[in-house]
Amino acid sequence: MKAIYDTMAPRYDRLIGVAERVLLGDGRQWACAQATGRVLEVAIATGRNLPFYPEGVQLTGVDLSPRMLDRAGARAETHPSPVDLQLGDAQHLAYSDATFDTVVATLTLCSIPDDGAAVAEMIRVLRPGGRLVLLDHVASPNPVIRAVQRLFDPMLVRLQADHLLREPATAVRRAGLVIEQLERSRWGVVLRLAARKPPESAPPPHQHLPPRHTRRHLGRHPAERAPPMTWTTMPPADDVAAGLELVASTSAPTVARQHLTSSRRQRP
């Protein structure tokens, strides 16, 4: 996976831009607008979300690909708030329990080998009362679109570990989070989900702390019942199919923990 996204990094923005016009609309703006306080973005890729975060958040981003993070670092140089970029594994996040006020993942869970483990880790590092925000392509309830997804899913899983039939809302509900917003659009292929960790959440069983790690900063110094599902206007089926293929080939990467050393910043 790392090699795939390192290779894709120079053209990632161009490719994902086409997919976003077809499928995501203002999804990135929506996701980032939910963020407050100390924020973790999982699979930050080239930093396409950076322009949309509110001022004043303390942002950390993790990703698999050093080349993706190089591009995210360039965006971080002009970001008005601190940005801490690291290589890291979404399935084994290198942070203590209850570290972040908000966890954001856009086009992320579709490409993580064990999405359930990734969701559990996101919830673990989220403080009680904190918010989990997901934007992703998922299994469609539309039988025609789902048939297309089933057709392409085995090939895409085999070639680039990209899953078209994921259901992250199910994992979030099972974890006991309170779903505050759940919206499906584009024939049900695109999911927007915002959920809150209950204030008195207990740690999951067999929980363990990750190994100690260090950091380098880039940029300036530093369940309850889900609400009714909202559906938005659907595009033509041909556009959706095209968008599926684009998103499938450009989804945000999974992440594997290492430490990122920036060549852009001088040592203090």
What are all long-range contacts of 228-232, with beta carbons under 8 Å and residues at least 24 apart?
229/182, 229/183, 229/184, 230/182, 230/183, 230/184, 231/183, 231/184, 231/185, 231/188, 232/183, 232/185, 232/186
pLDDT at residue 49, rounded to an integer: 97
Q: What's the confidence (pLDDT) of residue 29?
A: 97
Which pLDDT does position 41 carry in this prediction? 99
163 phi and psi angles, rounded to 5 deg: -105, 130
Contact 190, 248 (CB under 8 A): no
In order of start, what are the domains of the chain with their CATH numbers? Answer: 2-250 (3.40.50.150)
Position 243 scores a pLDDT of 53
- 14 CB neighbour count, 10 Å cutoff: 9
74 contacts 15 by C-beta, under 8 angstroms: no
Written as one letter, the residue type at 2 is: K
How do the pLDDT tens digits run along the chain, 268 residues long? 777 777 778 888 888 888 788 888 899 999 999 999 999 999 999 999 999 999 999 999 999 889 999 999 999 999 888 899 999 989 999 999 999 999 999 999 998 889 999 999 999 999 999 999 999 999 999 999 999 999 998 888 877 777 898 999 999 999 999 999 999 999 999 999 999 999 974 555 444 444 433 333 444 433 434 444 444 444 444 554 455 454 445 444 443 334 443 434 443 4
- Which pLDDT value is given to residue 8? 72
